[in-house]
Structure 1
Amino acid sequence: MYFSKQDIEQRRQRLAVKWDALLQPDEAVLVYSGDLIFKPGGLDQTYSFLPHPAYYWLTGRRREEEVILYNKNLGWVEFQKIIPAGDAVWEGERNDLLVSEKGNAITELNSFLVNNKFAQVYKLGQVPGGVTGKAFDLRTALDQTRRAKDNSEINLIKHLAQIATQGYTKIKEVLQPGITEKDIQVAYEGEILRRGAHTVPYDTIVGSGVNSAILHALPTQKVIQENVFVLVDAGCDIYDYCVDITRMFPASRNISSQHKALYQLVLQAHTECIALSKPGVFWRDVHNHAAKVLTEGLLQLGILKGNLSTLLEKEVVSVFFPHGLGHLVGLRVRDTGQEENLNPKTYFGARLRVDIELVENYLITVEPGCYFIKPLLENSEIQNKFKEDISWSEVDKWKHIGGVRIEDNILITQNGNENLTIDVPKSSEF
């Protein structure tokens, strides 16, 4: 099993310290796993159940209609769904308990709450409506606690990275002009499923040629041509834990000097930003460094013009690097996020998914990119705004390339970081 009873107990202890500082003795917190969602018009069919990550993290259980309760005096009390014996006819023995500790029947929850006469009960997890007041503070404490990955989580994510490595190796074996983007998807996903992955954590992204400039390009039947980039952004998932990786491949060995120059620029930003990612560093500063590297590189390539400091001040790079540098990853592809940041700021035109100080055992993606995105480059407002800063005639010479993104999953360690996806192959043709 991936998690032990001790793993779960240690997670709860870490959280209890923070919750005890917020809760009164007569208050309780409920964390709900969530309910099945029926498919519209599907009669008795439901979507595959995904437990709320907070509930799953606290219990190791993946069943619907369950709740875990916390109170300073009572500690942790579980209320679980009893699976009817007849369901085994259709489902067999359900393999949805990574940690199996017997709790109370979920039907006993209401009477338990009445008998204990809690002054206030706060509901978290998969519950309808917004979370405000103390419930917001409790959820924030929960999110911040589970951002730091424990050893069992790290080991699982490393295992996922090994599986993904095999998938990307398969891509290198099959990639050649004449196959389709869809063929790349099938080769990758088939390989990781054979190696033990349960699924992919997000729709596999494959973009060849100009499609590599589409940030979330879904693979099509487009035939891959000679001398183009192929961008693959593909992950690997076991029980909702995942890796999120992007690699660039040349469709043929005689890739152009323009392709190589753009790749080397993004690789420089990628390498330098990984080196900066360590405890005590604010993520916005790492993102800003990527923007500066890309701005200077685009200026040297003649795509931007003018004074570097002016280009940085005007945030011109946002036309070519329109997204944040990365996001927390691990338990789901967008891990805990930063819902407590109610007034997010933008940096070089991008709103960061997390505007936080990096802490030991945080796991974050580093994924700088540089793209020639048609809707941005052909936008009249952007053209007018940056008419003195972008060499539009030079841009026309680069549009056919599409874009470049390189992404790895970086674990923040005590003195620096560890690249958990470093073995996923990068192309040697650049």
Structure 2
Amino acid sequence: MIHNLYFSEEQIKIRREQVGSQWNTVLNAQDAVLIHSGHPIQKPGGLDSTYPFLPHPAYFWLTLRRRETEVVLYSKDLGWIEFHKEISNEEIFWEGEKNDVLVSSPGKNINTLERFLESQHFSKVFHLGQAKDSSPEAFELRTLLDQTRRKKDAAEVRFIRHIAELANAGYQKIASVLKPGMTERELQIAYESEIFRKGADTVPYETIVGSGSNAAILHALPSQKIIKENEFVLVDAGADIFDYCVDVTRTFYSSGEMSSQHKDLYSIVLKAYHECVAMSKAGVLWRDVHIHSAKVITEGLLQLGLLKGNLSDLIEKEIVSLFYSHGVGHLVGLRVRDTGQDENINPQTYFGARLRVDLELEENHLITVEPGCYFMPAILESAYQQKKFHDDINWTELKKWYDIGGVRIEDNILIKKDGNENLTRCIAKTE
């Protein structure tokens, strides 16, 4: 199977050594940490029907197992001990042999866990990966684990490169079939059927397809809307195998060569994209990358004549928040939001966007760079915004841009010791 080319028992050993060395600085000898895989979630009104099970990413990362109701235990004296669930005959009858163990490893029966805990007389037992243990110690343990697994190891990088090639096949299919007259839904089907043919398990999030004015909707679900001539078609779509994934956005033009108006907007976002990618390196604060993207887009809108006044004043007023309300990127890799940043307990807002991550980039972080610029009438025509920015926007000119929708360009950038590597570079974009 494909995963056997990338992951091994040695990988698990190295990961556990890294986490153990961090945890040993805060754990006492009689403490234990339990990392839970999680439980199936029943569908509302579904009787015995559950959502497809997804293991907690920390458990999967430490075990390469995807089976529900399992636990891996760590203590300074005992090291790592796995507690496994045995598949019942009834489960085999209904679901067959599950493909949920990537690397075989020894473990005890999960039914012996409580008895084992009692026999060891642990003074404290911390639970991660289920309903959050609210203790300060558990928070510190989660943070140390997250900070460790944020740094992608060589096997993860190879696997994500492979997944990027699957997404590339889907984007190539879009480029070959996109034409006026087809629907957004048809474009979604073309993309997803192609990545599934190539080996993707699923999509990491609902595929986003927005044409024309719909391209301004950040999470536009594909509809039966007909794609027209001379429109932007924004596609934000990824590919996923065992929760490892890529998250990519490309903005296509529906027919022929871009109009000058479309090209002007696309060029602004492309400039922000290239400059932000170049900034993304170890030691750089992620907020500075976002702030730079906001300044580039503000300057571009001023040059187009949509904004009025002095650039520095417009930047200080954070007027760009009307056109670019999301952060410039997020951690990605094992799940589309990866580790997030749980330790950022007081998130700050920059240019109207509350960043999902607000940290210093480190070697082997994997993060999306995805600046965008959008024209959303519901936001731009609110009485509050029109009063606040009355003298800063050329309102008459702005209305000419409503049908444009928006542009976003996104790739997955691996931070290296010197510079970075674009792991989704294989997916072509308009330059």
TM-score range, shorter chain: over 0.9
The answer on whether the counterparts of 2:127 and 2:133 sit within 8 Å (CA) in structure 1 is no
CA RMSD between the two structures: 0.9
SS of the residue corresponding to residue 179 of structure 2 reads coil
From 293, 298, 313, the equivalent of 1:295 is 298
SS of the residue corresponding to residue 400 of structure 2 reads coil
Counterpart in the other structure of 1:206:
209
Q: 1:218-260 CA distances to partner (integer Å, 9 max, x unpaired)?
A: 0000110001100000000000000000001111114311100
State how far apart, in whole Å, the 2-side matches of 1:162 and 1:73 are. 43
Cα drift, residue 132 of structure 1:
2.9
Using structure 2 for the length normalisation, give the TM-score.
Answer: 0.98
Using structure 1 for the length normalisation, give the TM-score.
Answer: 0.98
From 88, 104, 112, the equivalent of 1:108 is 112
Counterpart in the other structure of 1:12:
16
SS of the residue corresponding to residue 78 of structure 1 reads strand
Q: Is the aligned partner of 1:27 residue 2:28?
A: no
Cα drift, residue 426 of structure 1:
1.1
Segments of 5+ residues of structure 2 without an aligned counterpart are none
- Describe how 1:233-312 pairs up with structure 2 within 5 A: 233-312=236-315
From 352, 355, 358, the equivalent of 2:355 is 352
Cα drift, residue 103 of structure 1:
0.1
Cα drift, residue 87 of structure 1:
2.2
From 102, 106, 122, the equivalent of 1:98 is 102
Counterpart in the other structure of 2:198:
195
SS of the residue corresponding to residue 243 of structure 1 reads strand
From 74, 77, 89, the equivalent of 2:78 is 74
SS of the residue corresponding to residue 343 of structure 1 reads coil
Counterpart in the other structure of 1:388:
391
State how far apart, in whole Å, the 2-side matches of 1:63 and 1:117 are. 27
Counterpart in the other structure of 2:416:
413
State how far apart, in whole Å, the 1-side matches of 2:133 and 2:73 are. 19
Runs of 4+ with >6 A deviation:
none
Q: Is the aligned partner of 1:3 residue 2:7?
A: yes
The answer on whether the counterparts of 2:126 and 2:133 sit within 8 Å (CA) in structure 1 is no
Counterpart in the other structure of 1:149:
152
Cα drift, residue 298 of structure 1:
0.5
Cα drift, residue 130 of structure 1:
5.1
SS of the residue corresponding to residue 249 of structure 1 reads strand
Cα drift, residue 284 of structure 1:
0.4
Counterpart in the other structure of 2:344:
341
Q: 1:333-355 CA distances to partner (integer Å, 9 max, x unpaired)?
A: 00100111111111111110000
State how far apart, in whole Å, the 2-side matches of 1:74 and 1:317 are. 54
SS of the residue corresponding to residue 396 of structure 1 reads helix
State how far apart, in whole Å, the 2-side matches of 1:342 and 1:87 are. 41
Q: 1:303-348 CA distances to partner (integer Å, 9 max, x unpaired)?
A: 1110011011110111011000000000000010011111111111
The answer on whether the counterparts of 1:250 and 1:427 sit within 8 Å (CA) in structure 2 is no
From 319, 323, 333, the equivalent of 1:316 is 319
Q: 1:184-218 CA distances to partner (integer Å, 9 max, x unpaired)?
A: 00000000000000010000000000000000000
Counterpart in the other structure of 1:36:
40
State how far apart, in whole Å, the 2-side matches of 1:129 and 1:53 are. 14
Cα drift, residue 129 of structure 1:
4.3
From 44, 49, 57, the equivalent of 2:61 is 57
State how far apart, in whole Å, the 2-side matches of 1:253 and 1:129 are. 53
Q: 1:338-389 CA distances to partner (integer Å, 9 max, x unpaired)?
A: 1111111111111100000000110000000000012210111111111111
- Larger mean CA deviation between 92-101 and 19-28 belongs to 92-101
Give aligned pairs, total: 427
Segments of 5+ residues of structure 1 without an aligned counterpart are none
Cα drift, residue 93 of structure 1:
1.3
From 164, 169, 172, the equivalent of 1:166 is 169
- Amino acid of the residue matched to residue 430 of structure 2? S
The answer on whether the counterparts of 2:36 and 2:56 sit within 8 Å (CA) in structure 1 is yes
Q: Is the aligned partner of 1:131 residue 2:134?
A: yes
- Amino acid of the residue matched to residue 68 of structure 1? V
